[in-house]
């Protein structure tokens, strides 16, 4: 299991990944990564963050997916199904209304996620490695289909 304890300064994380600090900040600005921030606003990164960034770099360099494309893929994550939002939360959730950004890039007010730290959220963390996005989407779709069928039977 990867360590989630923030320990690398932005310059150290950039060096590990072989990228510039500017690129690290761009990934944050684009909503691909949510670094830990100390009270002094200094960014710190964990081993999990490094792995997430490696996956992002792989998607960009090997799979030729643009940053905009990665954001769109992340925006398709059914966050409401993962955190099990109630219907009343739907009216107050901008992530459901806008389809081109991941849920953790929105300011959440008056909804289930208002009190959550996005770095700690299951939706953000469930996709910290390179493989499971497609399989997790299939699993969630399949599980929701089963639940719908069960409701029809009742």
Looking at the domain assignment, is residue 152 inside a domain? Answer: yes
Looking at the domain assignment, is residue 81 inside a domain? Answer: yes
Domain end residue (candidates: 65, 95, 111): 65
CA diameter of the chain = 57
Looking at the domain assignment, is residue 71 inside a domain? Answer: no
Q: Express each pLDDT in 126-143 by its tens digit.
A: 767 666 567 767 776 776
121 and 89 in a common domain: yes
Max mean pLDDT range (61-70, 74-83, 136-145): 61-70
Looking at the domain assignment, is residue 70 inside a domain? Answer: no
Q: Express each pLDDT in 108-118 by its tens digit.
A: 777 777 777 77
94 and 117 in a common domain: yes
97 and 117 in a common domain: yes
The domain in which residue 41 lies consists of: 1-65
């Amino acid at each position: 299991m990867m360590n989630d304890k923030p320990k690398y300064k932005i310059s150290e994380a950039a060096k590990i990944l072989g990228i510039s600090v500017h690129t690290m900040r761009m990934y944050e600005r684009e909503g691909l990564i949510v670094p830990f921030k100390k009270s002094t606003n200094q960014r710190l990164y964990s081993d999990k963050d490094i792995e997430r960034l490696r996956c992002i770099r792989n998607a960009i360099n090997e799979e030729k997916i643009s940053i905009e494309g990665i954001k769109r893929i992340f925006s398709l994550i059914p966050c409401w199904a993962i955190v099990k939002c109630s219907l009343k939360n739907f009216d107050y959730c901008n992530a459901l209304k806008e389809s081109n950004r991941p849920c953790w890039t929105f300011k959440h007010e008056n909804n289930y996620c208002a009190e959550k730290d996005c770095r700690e959220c299951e939706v953000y963390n469930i996709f910290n490695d390179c493989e499971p996005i497609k399989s997790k989407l299939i699993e969630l779709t399949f599980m929701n289909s089963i639940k719908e069928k069960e409701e029809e039977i009742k």
